Amino acid sequence: MTDTSRNRVKSRSKSQSTTASKAASPIAPATQQAPGHLAHQDCEPCDSLPAAFARQLRYDLNRNERRPQELYQALALSVKEQLLDDWCASRSQDALYQRKQVAYLSLEFLMGRSLGNALLNLDLTDECREMLQGYAVALETLQQQEHDAGLGNGGLGRLAACFMDSCASLGLAVTGYGIRYEYGMFAQQIVDGYQQEQPDRWLRDGNPWEVRASQHNVTVPFFGHVQSHVDRDGRRHRAWVDTQDVLAVAYDMPVPGYRNGRVNTLRLWKAEATDEFDLAEFNQGDYTEAVAAKNLAEQITMVLYPNDSSENGKELRLRQQYFLSSASLQDLLTTWVANKGLDFSEFAKFHVLQLNDTHPAIAVPELMRLLIDEYQLEWQAAWEIVSHCMAYTNHTLLPEALERWPVRMFAQMLPRILEIIYEINARYLELVAHHWPGDVSRLRQMSIIEEGDEPHIRMAYLAIVASFSVNGVAALHSRLLTTGLFRDFYELWPHKFNNRTNGVTPRRWLAHCNPRLAALISSRLGQDWLSDLRCLTALNAFTSDKPFIAAWREVKQANKQALAELVAQRCQVNFDPSMMFDVQVKRIHEYKRQLLNIMHVIHLYQRIVSGDTRGMQPRCVLIGGKAAPGYAMAKLVIKLANNVAHMVNEDPRVSPWLRFAFLPDYNVSAMEVICPGTDLSEQISTAGKEASGTGNMKFMMNGALTIGTLDGANIEMLEEVGEDNFFLFGLNALAVEELKAHYCPAQYIASSAALGGVMTLLKSGHFNLLEPGIFDPIIAAIESPQDPWMLAADFETYRLAQLQAAKAYQDPLRWTAMSIRNTAVSGRFSSDVTIAGYRDHIWGAQ
Ligand SMILES: *Cc1c(COP(=O)(O)O)cnc(C)c1O
């Protein structure tokens, strides 16, 4: 036996002892109490918020040199204390297994800040404000001290965060499982118009919300190889040996429901080296090797991959995926064993694993491995469990975003997992062969393994095969999945496929981020809308109520003032709140077509400079968002936006009519200022490419009007609000598909004076006088018959829709009525509605 394999045995026995001690953990419905356990009813009632805050400050060594950051830390710790009792009670209840529990597995949780949300949900905002008066500091000042938990790229990660809030608010037993990245989404700076990425050290001042819960530690194996052996009963076993084990340490963050006493957990795993690992190296005298090995282990959770809607196949990323999946599953299984013993026959009755895209799809073979290798279940029994627990959410139709991993990488890093995937595939292909007898090409097409010089594992197929539910995130997207990408699977298993249109939480995205509008709404409707956003339809009764309209406009003006201050501070551009605020913030991606927006800005600029301002509505255009560091075209679009902004803002002829800024470092906290202060929301993706969008919903909730294409959830928003209250333009998804074969941008450029003018100005180098040729790739993309985003095709209808929006804005009564109608129907896009759908149609959880 080698040193490393002994090391492996050691870690096994350790994880077993962890399991044993769990049986008596305080989570168990304790008949036997663990040492140190104090029954809840024996506790002193916890201190009130002011008492807890005073105590935090009293027992602070540095109380004589207190800055806002220290005050924030003390406040956050005091608020966390307020929810500890409910947090414990929620956990004790779950340990009874009286109802289904959901594990939401996601590589991303874009949580943003926690303080304001916690105060709101615990109904402590007013008390806190009052308390802080005694300390001569504003709540807002302290809130701004909190670093965003930016553990996600964009929509997918923010969806996970909104879902966490809704699950807790609906009282569901849902645990979020994710990774505690040391560095979250990079901070974006703009230097000479170019994006520069800065590391996001969000933990530099500590994280007062988290609790390190090392009693839940598990070890995750990597590398090694697989051996066969036969036990005393003649049963064959596969053993994964000589592995390099990494310790997964649990960090728990509380997720309080909205005023309902429920507190769920977001459990984030941090990778650390195991003691055994260090010791083995140390005994060989390689002290420095041991330390280096430690770094290797800890690298796994060091940084979030900054790619949105595109996979990049890096080995470390696969390690993150397996690390999260294995740690989370071991956690679920050890908790089950501690409370229910080794009988897994009811495991699937009490668990659902919701996979947020294919990123955690490796949980499928990992759960098989744990049940078979660690708990000695037979294949069929294990598969029954796995295939009744797993549910998969697809987030994209873009082929470049579909995850595929080289088989070679699995063979080396996860050899036992690869064996299991092969076995799953073999059994599944038998079913395919049975369904389509003799259809060999179908077998190749549907196989989990993509053959070729470099064979790959298709993670989406693995997820579909194992899941009892496969859902898309908006009606159009779910339909396109069944008719396109997953058509074969839909033929085989139609019952698996369903739609759950995304949503956003109205607590953060209306009540917390827009207190002025929230107060106005509550003054007429009361507070029920906070837990049932459909109540907002009652606002439709106020669309011609003069005092209400005036109040609505005042709120919008104040929010625009706040947004203007953000823009002034970050972009040194002066936005005038009397002008229309036209905003597009989201990840920079070709399919989202920020370029189309910039082209329209160039068109307006040309009109103004040529003196054609008759009937023009003055507007301030804001674009913000991050580009993946390796995405050259997206980065060039940022550069173009900044160069155009420079020309627009420096020209005194233009500034009465048009101002244009690129907002650096778009994140959750920025969006909390942006969406309340926006008049016009840009949702202009190429139809059929944006799965759902959720930014669109945040703007709608806050009374912005949308200019948009028939894509993603825009379609459902339009359905709710009607064409009179939405600026629709562009090709639909079918037309985009049909045009592909004979798309001719030159034709559109020749037939539109506006588009022709924009192209001429771009090509003249007007926006890059000192940087010749830098925008050539952008010009070439627009003029290419292969342009998948079809900018030229949609430009003219976009321009006309913009004219309509401008005209509507010039009639304030009409615009405000439209704005109220948008908020009024936004209730359908509350993530509470979405989660109720998951609960009733997928999870079967109450
Ligand atoms: C809501 C949100 C997104 C998603 O925006 P889309 O317009 O749907 O792409 C991305 N990033 C942040 C910070 C968000 O708050």
The dihedral over CA atoms of 436, 442, 447, 451, expressed in degrees to the nearest 10, equals 150
Which residue, by CA, sits nearest to atom 7 of ligand 1?
695
Catalytic-role residue among 8, 22, 267, 586: 586
Asked if residues 361 and 459 have their Cβ atoms less than 8 Å apart, the reply is yes
Burial of residue 211 (CB within 10 Å: 0-12, 13-18, 19+) is middle
388 flagged as catalytic: no
- From the list 801, 778, 761, the residue with the least C-alpha distance to 602 is 761
150 in contact with ligand 1, CB cutoff 6 A: no
Asked if residues 681 and 704 have their Cβ atoms less than 8 Å apart, the reply is yes
Catalytic-role residue among 22, 91, 508, 592: 592
Ligand 1 atom at minimal distance to the Cα of residue 683: 7
Rounded Cα distance between 236 and 227, Å, is: 11
> What pLDDT, on a 0 to 100 scale, did the predictor assign at position 16?
36
698 flagged as catalytic: yes
- Read off the tokens for 621: 């255009």
> What pLDDT, on a 0 to 100 scale, did the predictor assign at position 438?
95
563 in contact with ligand 1, CB cutoff 6 A: no
Rounded Cα distance between 51 and 821, Å, is: 44
Rounded Cα distance between 469 and 397, Å, is: 18
678 in contact with ligand 1, CB cutoff 6 A: no
> What pLDDT, on a 0 to 100 scale, did the predictor assign at position 281?
58
Backbone conformation region of residue 147, classed left if phi is above 0, alpha if psi is from -120 to 50, else beta: beta
E-assigned strand segments in 180-262:
187-191, 194-198, 211-212, 218-222, 225-230, 236-241, 244-256
154 in contact with ligand 1, CB cutoff 6 A: yes
Catalytic-role residue among 698, 821, 828, 839: 698
Q: Which residue type, as a one-letter code, is found at position 234?
A: G
Q: For residue range 728-760, list pLDDT tens digits in order.
A: 999 999 999 999 999 999 999 999 999 999 999
Q: What percent of the chain has pLDDT over 90?
A: 88
Rounded Cα distance between 103 and 328, Å, is: 8
DSSP H/E element including 291? helix 287-299
> What pLDDT, on a 0 to 100 scale, did the predictor assign at position 259?
98
693 in contact with ligand 1, CB cutoff 6 A: yes
**Mean pLDDT on 196-200:** 98
Ligand 1 atom at minimal distance to the Cα of residue 693: 8
**Taking CA 711 as the corner, what is the angle to CA 705 and CA 714, rounded to the nearest 5 degrees?**
30
Cβ count within 10 A of residue 43: 11
Centre of ligand 1 from the C-alpha of residue 513, in Å? 15
Matching residue, tokens 């909190």: 146
- From the list 487, 534, 484, the residue with the least C-alpha distance to 506 is 534
Burial of residue 283 (CB within 10 Å: 0-12, 13-18, 19+) is exposed
Rounded Cα distance between 171 and 835, Å, is: 11
479 flagged as catalytic: no
Which residue, by CA, sits nearest to atom 6 of ligand 1?
695
Q: For residue range 354-411, list pLDDT tens digits in order.
A: 999 999 999 999 999 999 999 999 999 999 999 999 999 999 988 888 999 999 999 9
Q: Give 572-605 as a 3 state SS string.
A: CCCCCCCCEEEEEECCCCHHHCHHHHHHHHHHHH
586 in contact with ligand 1, CB cutoff 6 A: yes
Q: Which residue type, as a one-letter code, is found at position 666?
A: Y
Which residue out of 148, 585, 667 has the highest number of ligand 1 atoms within 8 Å of its CB and is therefore the one to mutate? 585
Rounded Cα distance between 567 and 674, Å, is: 10
Q: For residue range 676-702, list pLDDT tens digits in order.
A: 999 999 999 999 999 999 999 999 999
> What pLDDT, on a 0 to 100 scale, did the predictor assign at position 348?
98
| pLDDT-derived band at 38, boundaries 50, 70, 90 | low
> What pLDDT, on a 0 to 100 scale, did the predictor assign at position 26?
36
Rounded Cα distance between 835 and 176, Å, is: 14
| pLDDT-derived band at 22, boundaries 50, 70, 90 | very low
DSSP H/E element including 471? strand 469-472
Asked if residues 79 and 122 have their Cβ atoms less than 8 Å apart, the reply is yes
- From the list 789, 710, 785, the residue with the least C-alpha distance to 398 is 789
| Paired strand residues for 660 | 621
Centre of ligand 1 from the C-alpha of residue 671, in Å? 8
> What pLDDT, on a 0 to 100 scale, did the predictor assign at position 41?
52
Whether 20 has a pLDDT exceeding 50, the answer reads: no
What is residue 68's three-state secondary structure? helix
**Mean pLDDT on 201-207:** 97
287 compared with 322, residue with greater pLDDT: 322
Centre of ligand 1 from the C-alpha of residue 820, in Å? 22
Rounded Cα distance between 758 and 606, Å, is: 8
112 in contact with ligand 1, CB cutoff 6 A: no
| pLDDT-derived band at 205, boundaries 50, 70, 90 | very high
Catalytic-role residue among 14, 22, 113, 395: 395
Which residue, by CA, sits nearest to atom 4 of ligand 1?
155
> What pLDDT, on a 0 to 100 scale, did the predictor assign at position 278?
57
| pLDDT-derived band at 555, boundaries 50, 70, 90 | very high
Centre of ligand 1 from the C-alpha of residue 776, in Å? 29
**Mean pLDDT on 74-81:** 97
Burial of residue 67 (CB within 10 Å: 0-12, 13-18, 19+) is exposed
> What pLDDT, on a 0 to 100 scale, did the predictor assign at position 309?
79
Asked if residues 324 and 175 have their Cβ atoms less than 8 Å apart, the reply is no
> What pLDDT, on a 0 to 100 scale, did the predictor assign at position 846?
78
Whether 84 has a pLDDT exceeding 50, the answer reads: yes
Centre of ligand 1 from the C-alpha of residue 245, in Å? 36
Which residue, by CA, sits nearest to atom 8 of ligand 1?
693
- From the list 378, 779, 758, 417, the residue with the least C-alpha distance to 603 is 758
The domains of the chain, with CATH numbers, are 45-95+115-147 (no CATH), 98-113+148-499 (3.40.50.2000), 545-826 (3.40.50.2000)
Rounded Cα distance between 15 and 685, Å, is: 49
Rounded Cα distance between 656 and 134, Å, is: 45
158 in contact with ligand 1, CB cutoff 6 A: yes
Compute the mean pLDDT over every residue in the chain, rounded to the nearest whole number. Answer: 93
Which residue out of 109, 185, 586, 672 has the highest number of ligand 1 atoms within 8 Å of its CB and is therefore the one to mutate? 586
Catalytic-role residue among 500, 507, 560, 587: 587
The CA distances from residue 157 to 178, 357, 453, in Å, are 10, 10, 34
Ligand 1 atom at minimal distance to the Cα of residue 670: 13
| pLDDT-derived band at 233, boundaries 50, 70, 90 | confident
E-assigned strand segments in 298-382:
351-356
Cβ count within 10 A of residue 206: 12
Centre of ligand 1 from the C-alpha of residue 155, in Å? 5
Matching residue, tokens 């990992």: 366
Rounded Cα distance between 634 and 641, Å, is: 11
Catalytic-role residue among 335, 543, 686, 694: 694
> What pLDDT, on a 0 to 100 scale, did the predictor assign at position 294?
80
For residue 662, report the phi and psi dihedrals to the nearest 5 degrees.
-105, 120
Backbone conformation region of residue 33, classed left if phi is above 0, alpha if psi is from -120 to 50, else beta: beta
Residue 512 gets which letter from DSSP? I
> What pLDDT, on a 0 to 100 scale, did the predictor assign at position 183?
98
639 in contact with ligand 1, CB cutoff 6 A: no
3-state helix, strand, coil in the chain (%, to 5): 55, 15, 30
- Read off the tokens for 465: 């095969």
Centre of ligand 1 from the C-alpha of residue 185, in Å? 13
Range with the largest mean pLDDT of 5-19, 23-37, 593-607: 593-607
- Read off the tokens for 258: 């909205």
Q: For residue range 616-638, list pLDDT tens digits in order.
A: 999 999 999 999 999 999 999 99
The CA distances from residue 507 to 116, 122, 124, 152, 510, in Å, are 10, 12, 14, 20, 6
- Read off the tokens for 104: 């939401």
Centre of ligand 1 from the C-alpha of residue 828, in Å? 18
Whether 580 has a pLDDT exceeding 50, the answer reads: yes
695 in contact with ligand 1, CB cutoff 6 A: yes
Which residue out of 668, 674, 682, 700 has the highest number of ligand 1 atoms within 8 Å of its CB and is therefore the one to mutate? 668
The CA distances from residue 52 to 49, 116, 126, in Å, are 5, 17, 16
What is residue 86's three-state secondary structure? helix
Rounded Cα distance between 300 and 182, Å, is: 10
Rounded Cα distance between 71 and 153, Å, is: 30
| pLDDT-derived band at 277, boundaries 50, 70, 90 | low
Residue 600 half-sphere exposure toward CB, CA atoms < 13 A? 28
671 in contact with ligand 1, CB cutoff 6 A: yes
